[in-house]
Structure 1
Amino acid sequence: MSNPHSPAPLAFITGASSGIGQALAARFARSGYRLALVARRTADMQAFADAHGWGPDRCRVYGADVADIQSIVAAGQACLAAQGVPDVVVANAGVSIGMDTRERDDLDVMARTFALNNTGVAATFHPFVAAMAARGSGALVGIASVAAIRGLPGHGAYCASKAAVVAYCESLRGELRGSGVSVVTLLPGYVDTPLTRENRYAMPFLLSPETFADRAFDAIVGGVSYRVIPWQMGVVAKLLRLLPNAWFDRALAGRARKHRQGGGKSDA
């Protein structure tokens, strides 16, 4: 029998100032979770929490730059001190900016992308792994992308970083096997967020953030280890993975590329 005096479960979510992060926060809140919301834009997150009537007993806001290891680690430690060990940690913060390897400045874009999309995921999980394992329960959720499955022209930094999220989460899942802590890898297709609204190409099976959040929540609480959302994009991506390189290159010839620096959007 559950203890009626035990606190509600806690979800720690990065990139919570817009898009998928806010939609996930709302979805977890509807299921009775307390929230720890993390992003650089603390005023936006606090306004979001206030608009939903979430007081400090339901939701706390932590400012952090996920690309800065000590910044996000400190946010996690602050959450542990103020709210306890989360039941779910969602490493959602990410950036999507096009790059051209011929351009020197774009190497800096790539480094920032990896710092946020890759090292930032590990740094988000770091404060909680030992405590979750000691408790014997919890879920660590890495938000990758269907773009992880095949490299797209002009998307080198993004595709590579999201492929790395998939590989990292798979490694971590093996490391935590038997601990009671699950690792969930989610690969969104196209979701209507600030990250995608300036894309210059077709976005099939586009989902609203709320629809994505509903499906992601079901996957997380259902103990799924890997899921592409929506499943149709998973089928398309797998078919593209099976194409011989020459056919794949021909299929993408002339496809519009993602905006480079200045046109990218961040959910960090």
Structure 2
Amino acid sequence: MNRLVFITGASSGIGQALAERFYNAGWSVALVARRNAEMTAWAVAQGWQPERWRVYGADVAQTDSIVAAGHACLAEQGVPDAVIANAGVSIGMDTAERADLDVMAQTLAINLQGLAATFHPFIDPMRVRGSGTLTGVASVAAIRGLPGHGAYCASKAGVVSYCESLRGELRGHGIKVVTIVPGYIDTPLTRGNRYAMPFLMQPEVFADRAFAVIEAGASYRVIPWQMGVAAKILRVLPNSLFDRLLDGRPRKARRGE
């Protein structure tokens, strides 16, 4: 019987690349996206075997919506072997602007609350079965706060801490919790960035490496590794030096810019 992976944010970028990588490795896939008609058309265009995939329309920002998608997957395809909470948004913010407080609330709702809600339906069934892997997709932006990027950095730092907490909670139940920390990946999410993106990686290459990490059940991995080294260096820099290094760096574009 084919193993099953449940992936959010599967309609583009990292999520779509991961879906293709898992399918090509022989897995069945549960694809979650708001644009479920487009997602269905894409899967059909790939020539995928109908019995090996399903699409579930859901808004990850709405807890009941993504939880319902999880329950629908359980009913139609069974308990996944792997769940990848990948859906995310990246929008610049300026705390002096009232509208950007709403941007922050939306970012946290999708990137952090939505991640926990994605995992929720599967934890008890995985406990009963005694196996499963829950993967949270964070970002190197979790390592240090970047100017104009407060909402995104806070949400992804939250993902790292949340997954670490969940890993401890599920220890002894046969469930692995994996935190994947991407660097800069060439996706619609990053193409509007107004600053240099070192070690930029194509999504297919990222997906190949992430697949190996998830298969291995590693607890934490930065992809690519070069960005992991850079992030560790940034983490230990004194604040005065870090602030000077980022002085004048272009800010992330705000909504509408």
Amino acid at match of 2:188: P
Amino acid at match of 1:218: A
1:11 counterpart = 2:5? yes
1:127 counterpart = 2:121? yes
Determine the structure 2 residue equivalent to 1:94.
Answer: 88
Determine the structure 2 residue equivalent to 1:59.
Answer: 53
- Percent identity of equivalent pairs: 72
CA displacement at 1:55 relative to structure 2: 3.6
Answer 1 or 2: higher relative contact order, Cα 8 Å, separation at least 6.
1
Report which stretch shifted further, 247-256 or 52-61: 52-61
Determine the structure 1 residue equivalent to 2:160.
Answer: 166
For 1:112 and 1:236, locate their aligned partners in 2 and report how far apart those are by CA, in whole Å.
29
- Which 5+ residue runs of structure 1 have no aligned equivalent? 1-6, 264-268
Determine the structure 2 residue equivalent to 1:234.
Answer: 228
- What do the CA deviations read for 1:79-118 (whole angstroms, capped 9, x no partner)? 0000000000000000000000000000000000000001
Determine the structure 1 residue equivalent to 2:175.
Answer: 181
- What do the CA deviations read for 1:149-207 (whole angstroms, capped 9, x no partner)? 00000000000000000000000000000100000000000000000001000000000
Moved over 6 A (4+): none
Q: Does the aligned pair in 2 maintain the 1:143–1:185 contact within 8 Å?
A: yes
Determine the structure 2 residue equivalent to 1:150.
Answer: 144
Determine the structure 1 residue equivalent to 2:246.
Answer: 252
- Structure 2 counterparts to residues 196-215 of structure 1, below 5 A: 196-215=190-209
SS of the equivalent of 2:192 reads coil
CA RMSD of aligned residues (A): 0.7
Q: How many residue pairs align between the two structures?
A: 257
For 1:240 and 1:47, locate their aligned partners in 2 and report how far apart those are by CA, in whole Å.
42
For 2:43 and 2:203, locate their aligned partners in 1 and report how far apart those are by CA, in whole Å.
17
CA displacement at 1:43 relative to structure 2: 1.6
- What do the CA deviations read for 1:18-64 (whole angstroms, capped 9, x no partner)? 00000000000011000000010112211111111124311100000
For 1:133 and 1:97, locate their aligned partners in 2 and report how far apart those are by CA, in whole Å.
36
SS of the equivalent of 1:127 reads helix
> Which of 94, 111, 120 is the aligned partner of 1:117?
111
SS of the equivalent of 1:57 reads helix
- Which 5+ residue runs of structure 2 have no aligned equivalent? none
Determine the structure 1 residue equivalent to 2:64.
Answer: 70
Q: Does the aligned pair in 2 maintain the 1:12–1:88 contact within 8 Å?
A: yes
Amino acid at match of 1:78: A
For 1:122 and 1:80, locate their aligned partners in 2 and report how far apart those are by CA, in whole Å.
17
For 1:80 and 1:43, locate their aligned partners in 2 and report how far apart those are by CA, in whole Å.
21
- How does the TM-score come out when normalised to structure 1? 0.95
- What do the CA deviations read for 1:137-159 (whole angstroms, capped 9, x no partner)? 11000000000000000000000
Q: Does the aligned pair in 2 maintain the 1:49–1:55 contact within 8 Å?
A: no
- What do the CA deviations read for 1:200-251 (whole angstroms, capped 9, x no partner)? 0000000000000000000000110000000100110110111100000000
For 1:262 and 1:56, locate their aligned partners in 2 and report how far apart those are by CA, in whole Å.
39
